[in-house]
Amino acid sequence: MPTTGVNGRRIFGLETEYGLIVRDEQGKLLSAPRAARELFAHGPDFSQQSATFLTNGGRLYVDVGAHPEYATAECDTVEELLAQDLAGDQLLLGLVSELKQRQPQWQVSLLRNNLDAAGNSFGCHENYLLRRFQAGRILTTALTSFLVARTALTGAGAVLPVPESQDWRFVISARAEQLTGEYSSGTTQERPIVNTRDQALADPGEYQRLHVIAGDTNISQLSGYLKIGGVLMVLSALEAGISFNDLLLTEPLTQLRALSMSANQSLQERIGHGVAAASKSLDSSGAESGVNPSFPQSPQTAFESKPASHGFLGADFLLTLTSGKELKASEYLIAIAERCGARKTDWQVPGLSDPQKFAQLWFSACEQLADPNGGELLSQLDWVAKAKLLIGSAKRHPSLTRIEAQRVDFLYHELTASLAAKLHAKGILPLLIPAGNIRRSLVEAPTETRAKLRSELIAAARQAGRELSVDWFRVALTGGGAAVDLPDPFATNSEQVPRFLAALNEEPWFPL
């Protein structure tokens, strides 16, 4: 397969939304807006947009809903992206530490997850740069079909309540039930698998941004690696004109929800808990009755009768193609990778520094998904690691309550409690990204994208004591004057830079 992307490269990034829970010395829960204000009290001035752009090339800010959000810099390798993303965790944990020093009696929890206790949704949005003339070839059912199937490897798992009972159920993807369609230009009232809002954040005549909002927020670095790497693999194949017409899924959203639910009964049976109660509270589509009433439920389909008796915890769900043929999720994901050329020794994909390593991990994870006993590699994926934590908790507490199960779920994602750090230290979750790379990403931008240039301009302006107006594609001195346009995400320099640097030492001009 020919190398694709732009000049054999691709740029991509992540936006991660965090849950923040703050209780004062009386145990009173602070409102979300006040909690955010307290967290950022000694951080960036959020009345100034430019303050939210950092010298590592990323952006840290308060998003709609008053939750913290971190957007990575533009990256061109998966390893660089994961380091940038993990740097966001460290930046926010630093702010949490400062808040605890100011208010030692307060309880502060920072969560890297997709749902809070009230069922409010947090997202992890993926962004991939496309050439505009190729976008029509990319935004097809082939892409959404793949995004549905990859959930079997990349879901973060979640414990959800069963309405009108004290029971609970387990889903492979917390995000799956929050989605409302395949494509849409909206992200708040509607939550599609792929957001089609045409906001390139670059030269709109040359580029388009693929905005995927279907993925879970991952704790496992392996899950994150497979999540991003899998999309890079499929994008390159689509750009090269490879056809997936015989691998299109019928009713992708309905199958996504059914796949997400496929491990529940097997897990409940494994721990001997609540199978009957959970089953009675589910409608015939496999979606929970009454859950998220603002979102439409899946229609009744043949997916309700699919047995979940094969593969690890029954999660190797049977997917139905538009031809009527059925494939296990593992078989489907292997077929996709083979179609992309991942078995070839000379296989190359923009953004994958080591395509052969990725392919080996991808095929191994799929094969272990098909194994009823799983395997060591499969256990390093988020939803599997969480399921095993629930099984272990049930052995210690045979009548595992909903509150106890949800506590396990939340602890897995709570960065301040650092269960994830313990799992990494014990080798339960692998460390793919060296700690030194993460520390470097706290302060340094990627060197091969425009993030490097934006970072240098911000640092120079701060040293000169000048205020800036900054966006992803422009850096300008506040009050008029010099500016540097950044329409090309691959550009690491600009002829506008010398004038901008010279203007830093000029007296700022303000109109009377």
- Percentage of the chain exceeding pLDDT 70: 87
With 0-12 / 13-18 / 19 or more C-beta atoms within 10 angstroms meaning exposed / middle / buried, residue 248 is middle
Q: Please check the confidence at residue 128 and state whether its pLDDT lies above 90.
A: yes
Tell me the pLDDT band of 298, cut-offs 50, 70 and 90. very low
The answer on pLDDT for 295 being more than 60 is no
Establish whether 63 is a catalytic residue: yes
Q: Which helix (H) or strand (E) holds 477?
A: strand 474-477
Binned at pLDDT 50, 70 and 90, residue 304 comes out as low
Q: Are residues 377 and 475 in the same domain?
A: no
What is the domain range of residue 491? 449-503
- Write out pLDDT tens, residues 221-234: 999 999 999 999 99
Query: Does residue 413 share a domain with residue 296?
Result: yes
**Total-model pTM:** 0.91
Does residue 480 come out as left (phi exceeding 0), alpha (psi in the -120 to 50 range) or beta?
Answer: left
Count the helix, strand and coil residues of the chain and give each as a percent rounded to the nearest 5.
40, 15, 45
Q: pLDDT, tens digit, for every residue of 32-63?
A: 999 999 999 876 655 455 568 999 999 999 88
Per-residue pLDDT tens over the stretch 73-99: 999 999 999 999 999 999 999 999 999
443, part of any domain: no
The domain tally of the chain equals 2
pLDDT at 292 over 80: no
Query: Which among 200-214, 325-339, 400-414 has the top mean pLDDT?
Result: 325-339
**Residue 69 belongs to some domain of the structure:** yes
Within a domain: 511 = no
Same domain (yes/no): 149, 279? yes
Residue from 63, 203, 283, 471 carrying the catalytic annotation:
63
- Least reliable range by pLDDT among 16-25, 183-192, 386-395: 183-192
Residue with the bigger pLDDT between 361 and 4: it is: 361
Partner residues linked to 468 by β-bridges: 477
Q: How confident is the model at residue 478 (pLDDT cuts 50, 70, 90)?
A: confident
Same domain, 399 and 480: no
Structure confidence at residue 240 (pLDDT): 93
Mean pLDDT, residues 130-145 = 86
Q: Taking 90 as the threshold, does the pLDDT of residue 305 lie above it? A: no
Closest CA to 58 of 94, 95, 14: 14
CA distance 253 to 114: 18
Q: Are residues 110 and 71 in the same domain?
A: yes
Q: Are 260 and 172 in contact (CB under 8 A)?
A: yes
Residues 176 and 122 in one domain: yes
Average pLDDT across the chain, whole number = 87
Q: In this predicted structure, what is the pLDDT of residue 188?
A: 58
Q: Specify whether the CB–CB gap between 112 and 18 falls below 8 A.
A: yes
